[in-house]
Every structure is written in C-alpha cells, then in structure tokens.
Structure 1
Amino acid sequence: MTTSAPAGTTTDSGIPDPAPAAQRRILRVLVASQILSGAGLAAGVSVGALLAQDMLGTTTLAGLPSALFTAGSALAAVAVGRISQARGRRPGLATGYLTGALGSAGVIAAAVLDNPVLLFIALFIYGAGSATNLQARYAGADLAAPDHRGRAVSTVLVATTLGGVVGPNLTSPTDALADSLGIPHLAGLFLLSGASYALAALVLALWLRPDPLLLARTHAAHEATSTAPGSGTSPTQEQTTAQARKGVVLGALVMVLTQLVMVAIMTMTPVHMHDHGHSTAASGLVIGVHIGAMYLPSPLTGWLADRYGRMKTAAASGVILLAAGILAAAAPADSVFLLALALALLGLGWNFGLVSGTAIITDTVPLATRAKTQGLVDVSIAVAGAAGGMASGVMVAATSYPVLALVGGILSLALLPAVAATAYRR
C-alpha cells in the first residue's frame, strides 16, 4: 500500500491525497455551518408547541409539533443520506438545510394566515434541518485518520452548541422584528431559523470543497489499485461485509439506546419539577445544564474514544447513564442541584454514546455504502427519541418519575454485554 503524500500534495498518479490540510479546511467549514444551523434548531424546540397551542386555543394537540418535527427529521435523514451517497456531502447537507429553511418560511406563513394545517405541514418539513445538523458529524469523519475520527466528530458536535446557546437568547430581538413585519411574535424565532438554515446551506455549497466523502472515495480507490495483488494484506469481501455488519449493529445499538434513555428521562424531568412546585425558570436551568452536558464535553469524549477505543467509551456511556438514572430517582424532589447534576450526567452519557457510536460506524462501513447507512441509522435514532418521549409519559402516569429514571438507567446497562459480545475491533 502506498504511503500518504505530504500535506497539500498529490499522489504519484496525480490523485489528490486527503491530506491534513484538506481535513482542517473541511472542519472549519463544517464548524461555521453548524454554528449557524445550531441557532436554527432553537425555534422548533422553543416555540413550536406554543405556536400550535396559540393557534388552536387548546393544549390537546400541543404535542403534535414535536411528533411532526421528529417524523420530518427521520424522513430527511434518509433523503440526506441517499443524496450524499450519490453526489457527496456538499449537495446532501446543503439540500437538507435549504429544506429546513423552506419549512421555517412555511411556519411563518401559517402564523400569518392563522392556518394550523399549514403549520403542521411546515413543521414536518422544518424537521429536515435537525436531521441535517446531526448528519453533518459524519462529514467531519470522512477524511479523518482512524485515530482522529472521534475528535473530528466531536469538533462538529460542539460547534452546534454555540449556535444553540445564541439562538434562544435572540428571542426578544426576533419578537420585535416579527412585530415590525406584522408577523405573530411567536413566529419570530422562525425568522432566525430560516435565515440560519439558508446561510448554513450557502456556506456548505460555496466552501465545502473538496467534498470529504467524494475525496475519501477517490483516495480509497487509489489505495486499492496500488495494493499489490496477492500480497495478502487486503481483507476478503466476506470479511469486510461481516465487519461492517457488526459495526452497524453495535454503533446503532449504542446510539439508539442512549437516545431512548436520554429523551425519556429528560422529557419528564420538567414535568416532575413542576408537579413539586418548582418554577419554569428552575426547570429551564436544569434542562440548560443538560443540553450543555450533551455537547460541550465533545472534545474530551472524542479524545477518549481515539485514545482508549470506541468500545471502552461506549461501555462508559452505559455506566454514566446508570449513574444518572440512579441519581435522578434518588434525588429529593425539592433539590434543584441534584436534579441538575443527574441531568448533566444524562447528557454526558448520551454524548459518550453518540461520539463512540458514530466512530464505530465510520470505522467499519465501506465508503461505497457509508452515507446511505448513516442516514438509516439516524432514522433509528429519531424513532428511538420519539418512542422514549411517548413512553416516558405513560410510565410516569402508571408509576412515578423515580421509577422511570431507575428503569432507564438499568436499561442502559444493556450496552455492556453488547460491547463485550461484539467481535469488532478498531
């Protein structure tokens, strides 16, 4: 097998080598787009349900926006994955963000027209932005060296936090802008969302060059043709397929299970706090700590996954989620501090699972099917989140919040035997 050329050079055949310089440029572009799209995510999370409630005059269907948002996200994950597979990350991600911007415009139009049906359709389309934001983490790992993939994924993830923090803090300015334009103030954040998604698409369309997935394929094809026939260094097709299958199953299991547990406990924590007399500000603080813990530790998690291995990081995710569930169950209902600590551990466990699971799949799935497979995995993640959210309310109604938290923590331990039983190695 040929050795890699120095940064910024080409191989002997004139094919560009995916040098560190190209990877650094790609990460810079992805970080810029993620900061913008992170701000775009804020609208659906913050005011989608409130807008539906205001239009309908009842809370009966206030949960429908979240369900539609999730369904749209799942469908978009498949579409973005297929476009990326066929044409590269740049058109796939740019199309996803433009679709999210179109959904934002539809929400604004629905608010102006006071049309709930249009609102629900638009929120479904708007979900594409969320799916694309999550899919971008794969683009960060396409060209990364195997021992740097965890850090590449984490760099893209942590950039989302910056936009996610800024977005909700622009509620007042966007409300004022909406009022000046004759738009209902609750739709103001969707002005920010639409602009953010459109700018993210523009950044990717103009500057995500070279396309990381296409360049990685070119390099892989060159390496394959440069390997001496009969050298015995290349795995058979059967070995490659078996390894890919194991990687997909384990990586998907890690991310699906952590998503299910995280969403279930997170969803019911504000309800639990409200039922015990805590203010909206207190529950907002706890959720804010949780969201910070979901993304801010990403650089450390990526380093741990690269340094100590994907398997150990995935196993650590299960242990951390168990600790989160036990603490949430045992925390006195009047202790904001302990609930915040439990939710911080919950976010951290989710982060460990997402980074390690993403790296496992990127390590093992061939480039020929990578983007398509990653899109399907993200559909599973979205479905798991929706299932966790719906099941959590049912379980709390039938039992209690501490029971939900404890069951979630115990369920996360299923990661340990799954990791131990998997023959996959980095």
Structure 2
Amino acid sequence: MSGTAHPRNDPAGGRCPDGGTAGPPGTPGRPGPPGIPQDPDRARAAVVQRRTVRVLMAAQIIAGIGMGSMLASGSLLVGRLTGSDAGAGLATTCTTLGAALFGIPLATLSRSRGRRIGLGTGWLIAAAGSVLVLVAARLGWVPLVLAGSLLIGSATAANLQSRYAAADLAEDAHRARALSLVVWSTTLGSVIGPNLSGPGEPVARALGEPQEAGTFVFSVGAFLIGWALIWFLLRPDPLRLAAALARGETEDAPADGRPALPGGPTPTGTRPAPFTTRIAAALRHVRASPAALLGLVATVLGHAVMVSVMTMSPIHLAHHGAALSVVGFSISLHIAGMYALSPLIGWLTDRIGRIRVILAGQLIYVCAAVVAGTAGDSQGAVVTGLFLLGLGWSCATVAGSTLLTESTAPEHRSEVQGLADTLMNLAGAAGGALAGGLVALIGYSGLNAAASLLILPVLVLALAPRSRT
C-alpha cells in the first residue's frame, strides 16, 4: 500500500502477503504465533469484542425499527402536506442531511467520551426528532416536520458509526466480518419498520394525526430502547478499552482524562489539536493513501446512488396505483438487500478482497438502474430494482468502510470515520434533494440513468494500479 496508508492488510486480498496479519504478536486484535498463549489484555479484548458485537446487534435490531418505519412514511407525509412530488423528497433529504450534520459531532463525542456516549446521544436526538414530527404533523406545519426529520438523521449517523464500533477491538483478519454483522443486524428491525405503515394508520387516527404519521409513534419507542441498550450494556466501552490497551494500560477509562484515541495518549500538559486541524490532517491522510481514498469515494458515492433512487421510488409506485402496504413491502425488500446478506458480503470481503467486492457493488448498481429504470408501471420490476439497489449499497459500504478503516493510521481514524459518514450523508442529501426535480424533468427512468453515472469515479479509482499497491 502506498502513501501513508496503514499497512495492516493488502487491500485487494484482505490479508498481508504472507497470509498473516500485521502488528506485533499479542497486541489487541492481532493473533500471536501458534502455540504461544494469549496475554491477559488480548484475551480480555476478545471477550469484550464478542459482548460488544452482541450489544450493538441488539441495539441495531430495535432502533432499526424506528429507522425503517419512517422511510416510506416520511416522504408520503410531506407529500400530503405540501401537495407536491418534488416536496415529498424533502423528508428523506432532511433526514440524510441531519445524518451528515451529526456525523462528525457524534464521532468527536465518541473519540473524547467513548462509543457509549456518542452512539447513545445519537439515538436520543432521533427520539426527540420523532416527537417533533408528530407534533408538527398534527399542526400541519411542514417546516417543523422537516426540522424533526433533520433530528432523526442522528439515528442514521449512530447506525453508521455502530459498524465502526464493532471494529474497534476486532482482529485484522476478521474486521469486515465483525463490521458486517452489525450492519446485518439492522435487517430485522428495518424490514419490520416499513411494514408498520398499516398498523400505524389506526394509531394515527387515535391521535388525530395524518395516517402517514402513525409510524413515528413506533420510532419514538424504538429509538429510546436503542439508547437504553447502548447506555446500560455497552460496558466496558470498546473504543476506550482499545485506546487503553494501545497505551499498555488495563483500564478502559483511565483516571487522567486522556482522550480515548487509538494510537497513543495525548502528552500530559498539552492541549489536543483543534477540531478543524484534526479534520484537515485526516483529509490529507486520506488523499495520500489511494486505498483509503477509494474506500471513502466508494461509500460516499454509493450512498448517493442509493438515496436518490430510493427517495422517489415510493412516489413512483403510488402514482402507478400501489397501495400503502405495497410501498412498505418494497422498502422492506430494499432494506433487506442493504442488510440481510451483509455477513456473506463481509466474509467475501475478507476472503477475496475489498476492491473486488467494491467492483461487484458497482456492477449491481448498474443492474438495479436497468431493472428499475425500464420498469414502467410494473410494480414487481421496481421492487426488484430496489432490492438490487440495496445489495449494491451493502457491497460498497461493507467493503469500502473496511478498506477505509484499515488504510487509515490510528491517530486519524476517528476523524476519518466521522468525516466519511458526513460526506456520505451530504452526498445522499444532495441526491435526495435533486431526485424530485430530476423525476419532474426526465422521469423515473432518467433518475435511474443519472444515478448510475456516479459509479464512474469509483471504477476509475478501483481499477487504477496504485489502489492495489
């Protein structure tokens, strides 16, 4: 790997050239030579890693219900209140923009206070946003609905950063698998969520809400339960423990107040670098590493493709006579494509390499655009295209996030991860904002064609020789 990339694994193959893993034997997350007993710190890290993954998975399942339940309903609710198809896309746009706005602050909070505080805060803000949407929907105030949607975006930010939390203590050779398990755990909740549109209607009537707003009641409860699981069960904190072990300590929360930064402590008596300085340094670090740059671009543009097409698909289905239950089912299958096969994708990423899986994701994106873009009034074709769209996103996100993480030096990793999620959601917000206007100008088929053009930069970087060195 060239530049300043962190030489943990070969990006194309997922392992070091000799088949082992980088780093001194016995260090946390790295297996030692066969026959040599593990040291106590590494054994503890392995136990905490298993517990961490279980807790993160449980929180993702529950909180995923809150995220999934409002995906279709948010667009339909704003569409009803504004009476405009172009306006309908604003709900998803605001949620995605909110995820971008909260990405770096939550990552910074995790860096200074640990994953438990960072992730838990994200779920609490989302719960408050869901309450705000319910109040605004009853009053018919569209700006307030959009403000609530912006706050709900923090749930997406917390969801995305949970995959990095699963990698804090993971072994190099199994990092993609650990990351993908947390991504996969969102499947159950997120598939159930959109199908709550039907049960949400009587709830909405009982509360005097528009029928599309009922699912936000379920979102409030789901986000609060997700917060409780993280707050009470994510102990010891994986990021703080990883930092402590990297410093040769045994406690996950050192008493001297040093930040939980993997890669070494902050020297006593010195101030941490300003936030903007750290972000600028992280950007320079990514630009100097072709593999890290590929991981970043693959996740960012892949998310833009997914959000732009997914945003207008419920509207397209509704215009062709699809019932609310069919719209919810289509989003469920789309989310299943995003999450259900992620353990397999994680295994493939570790097995055949990060770059190959990224390229496979780009091919799937093209297939999704062709199937959905030529669907016309065929609801089945749109649903199939949405499933493929989610599957392409899973390949790009799992492989791209793994490549980005392992190609980034520990001292820059938290900032790079937060920056990646912020850029990812800004790109998604832009795609969602433009989607309604593109459909009005060139139709749903044109939207799919325009979105598929975003794979070109990824292909250029992935096929460049420097990305494989």
Q: Same fold (TM over 0.5)?
A: yes
The answer as to 2:97 corresponding to 1:71 is yes
The answer as to 2:458 corresponding to 1:415 is yes
The answer as to 2:26 corresponding to 1:3 is yes
Q: 1:85-118 CA deviation, whole Å, 9 max, x = no partner?
A: 1111111001111111121222233345554444
Tell me, in whole angstroms, the C-alpha distance in 1 between the residues paired with 2:385 and 2:208: 43
TM-score normalised to structure 2 length: 0.76
User: If each structure's helix is expressed as a fraction of its own residues, which one has the higher value?
Assistant: 1
Find the partner of 1:25 among 43, 48, 51: 51
1:405 aligned partner: 448
Tell me the number of residue pairs that the alignment of Structure 1 and Structure 2 aligns.
410
CA RMSD of aligned residues (A): 3.4
Find the partner of 1:323 among 364, 367, 375: 367
Q: Any gaps of 5 or more consecutive residues in structure 1?
A: 226-236
| Structure 1 position 421, deviation (Å) | 2.2
| Structure 1 position 19, deviation (Å) | 3.2
Tell me, in whole angstroms, the C-alpha distance in 2 between the residues paired with 1:317 and 1:165: 21
1:205 aligned partner: 231
The answer as to 2:309 corresponding to 1:251 is no
1:378 aligned partner: 421
Q: Structure 1 residues 275 and 44, CA, compared in 2 at 3 Å: closer, same or farther?
A: closer
Q: Structure 1 residues 422 and 93, CA, compared in 2 at 3 Å: closer, same or farther?
A: farther
Tell me, in whole angstroms, the C-alpha distance in 2 between the residues paired with 1:398 and 1:111: 29
Q: Structure 1 residues 422 and 200, CA, compared in 2 at 3 Å: closer, same or farther?
A: farther
Tell me, in whole angstroms, the C-alpha distance in 2 between the residues paired with 1:3 and 1:36: 36
Whether contact under 8 Å (1:243, 1:424) holds in the other structure is: no
| Structure 1 position 210, deviation (Å) | 1.8
Q: Structure 1 residues 196 and 372, CA, compared in 2 at 3 Å: closer, same or farther?
A: same
Find the partner of 1:153 among 169, 172, 179: 179
Tell me, in whole angstroms, the C-alpha distance in 2 between the residues paired with 1:261 and 1:170: 26
Per mean C-alpha deviation after superposition, the further-off stretch among 145-154 and 336-345 is 336-345
Whether contact under 8 Å (1:318, 1:414) holds in the other structure is: no
Q: Structure 1 residues 203 and 279, CA, compared in 2 at 3 Å: closer, same or farther?
A: closer
Q: Structure 1 residues 104 and 326, CA, compared in 2 at 3 Å: closer, same or farther?
A: closer
2:216 aligned partner: 190
| Structure 1 position 244, deviation (Å) | 7.1
Q: Structure 1 residues 38 and 277, CA, compared in 2 at 3 Å: closer, same or farther?
A: closer
1:168-317 to 2 correspondence within 5 Å? 168-171=194-197, 173-177=199-203, 180=206, 186-222=212-248, 241=285, 245-273=289-317, 284-317=328-361
2:145 aligned partner: 119
Tell me, in whole angstroms, the C-alpha distance in 1 between the residues paired with 2:103 and 2:43: 29
TM-score normalised to structure 1 length: 0.83
Per mean C-alpha deviation after superposition, the further-off stretch among 385-394 and 268-277 is 268-277
Tell me, in whole angstroms, the C-alpha distance in 2 between the residues paired with 1:271 and 1:60: 10
Tell me, in whole angstroms, the C-alpha distance in 2 between the residues paired with 1:87 and 1:73: 20
Per mean C-alpha deviation after superposition, the further-off stretch among 171-180 and 43-52 is 171-180
1:106 aligned partner: 132
| Structure 1 position 277, deviation (Å) | 6.0
| Structure 1 position 257, deviation (Å) | 1.7
Tell me, in whole angstroms, the C-alpha distance in 1 between the residues paired with 2:81 and 2:437: 26
1:166 aligned partner: 192
Whether contact under 8 Å (1:34, 1:133) holds in the other structure is: yes
Q: Which residue identity does 2:306 align to in structure 1?
A: M
The answer as to 2:398 corresponding to 1:355 is yes
The answer as to 2:59 corresponding to 1:36 is no
Tell me, in whole angstroms, the C-alpha distance in 2 between the residues paired with 1:402 and 1:174: 31
SS at match of 1:19: helix
2:17 aligned partner: none
The answer as to 2:177 corresponding to 1:134 is no
Per mean C-alpha deviation after superposition, the further-off stretch among 410-419 and 124-133 is 410-419
SS at match of 2:247: helix
